[in-house]
Amino acid sequence: MIFFLLIAVAAAATAPVAAWALRHAAAPIPVATAAGLAALGVTAVTGRWLSGGWPGWWLPVPALLTVVAVPLALADLRHLRLPDVLTLPAYPLFGAAIGAAALGGGGPSLAVRAVAGALLFGGAHAAVRQLAPGSLGAGDVKLSGSLGAVLGAAGWPALALATLLAALLTLVMAAARRTGRVPHGPALLAAAWLCVVFPLAG
C-alpha cells in the first residue's frame, strides 16, 4: 500500500511542472485534475506490472507515457492545442525510456521498432495533414512521431490498433459533442496508452 502511495505521489508531482510549462504556452490546465489523473494512471500502470502484465524493464515506458499524456490531453480538450512545450520534449524523454527498456532486457530489436514506428506513424499523420489539412492539427503530427516510437516498441500490431482506436474514439467524441471542432489528440493519447499498457505480441 505504501509503495502504491509513493508511486501516486511521484506521478502527481509531475503535474505542476507540466502545468507551469503549459501556462507559459498560453494553454493552462487545472493542476489538481492533472495531478489526480496522473496518479491514477501511473498507479494502474504499476498494478499492471505487479500482476505480471509485462516485465519490469517495460515499466518506464507506460509510466512516462501516462504523465505526458494527461496534461497534453487536458490542454487539447480545453484549448484545442497540443503545445510544443510538451510535444517536442516527448521525443528525447520517450527515447530515453525506450533505450532503458532495450538495455534492461527488451533487446536492440525494441529500439529498432521504436525508430521505425516513429517514422511510420509520424509519416502517416504528416501525409494525412498534407492531403487534408483540416483533418489534423500540427500538434497532432508532432505528437504522432513520439507516440509512434512508443507504439513501435510495444509491437507492430500496436501501430495499427492505436490508429483504429484513435479514429473510433474521435468519432465517439464528435457524436457526443455534435457541434464545434473535436480534438484528435486525446483520442490518440488514450489509444496509445491502452496499446502500451496492454501490448499485443508482435
Q: What is the pLDDT of residues 69-102, one digit of tens each?
A: 999 999 999 999 999 999 999 999 999 999 999 9
Within a domain: 202: no
| Burial (0-12, 13-18, 19+ Cβ within 10 Å), 174 | middle
Cell 500538434 identifies what position? 139
In whole angstroms, give the CA distance from residue 47 to residue 177: 33
Residue 188, pLDDT score: 97
Residue 201, pLDDT score: 55
Within a domain: 120: yes
Residue 177, pLDDT score: 80
User: What is the domain count for the chain?
Assistant: 1
For the chain, list residues with pLDDT below 50.
Answer: 202
In whole angstroms, give the CA distance from residue 176 to residue 167: 14
CB-side neighbour CA atoms (13 Å) of 9: 6
Within a domain: 148: yes
Closest to 96 (Cα-Cα) out of 15, 153, 46? 153
- 131's CB contacts (< 8 A; 6+ apart) are none
Residue 134, pLDDT score: 81
39: containing domain: 2-197
Q: How much is the pTM? A: 0.95
Residue 181, pLDDT score: 83
| Burial (0-12, 13-18, 19+ Cβ within 10 Å), 58 | buried
**Per-residue CA distances from 76 to 24, 27, 66, 152 (Å):** 15, 9, 15, 24
Helix (H) and strand (E) counts for the chain? 10, 0
Within a domain: 89: yes
Q: DSSP letter at 28? A: -
Residue 200, pLDDT score: 76
Within a domain: 159: yes
**Per-residue CA distances from 55 to 58, 59, 105, 119, 124 (Å):** 6, 7, 9, 26, 30
Q: What is the pLDDT of residues 162-176, one digit of tens each?
A: 999 999 999 999 888
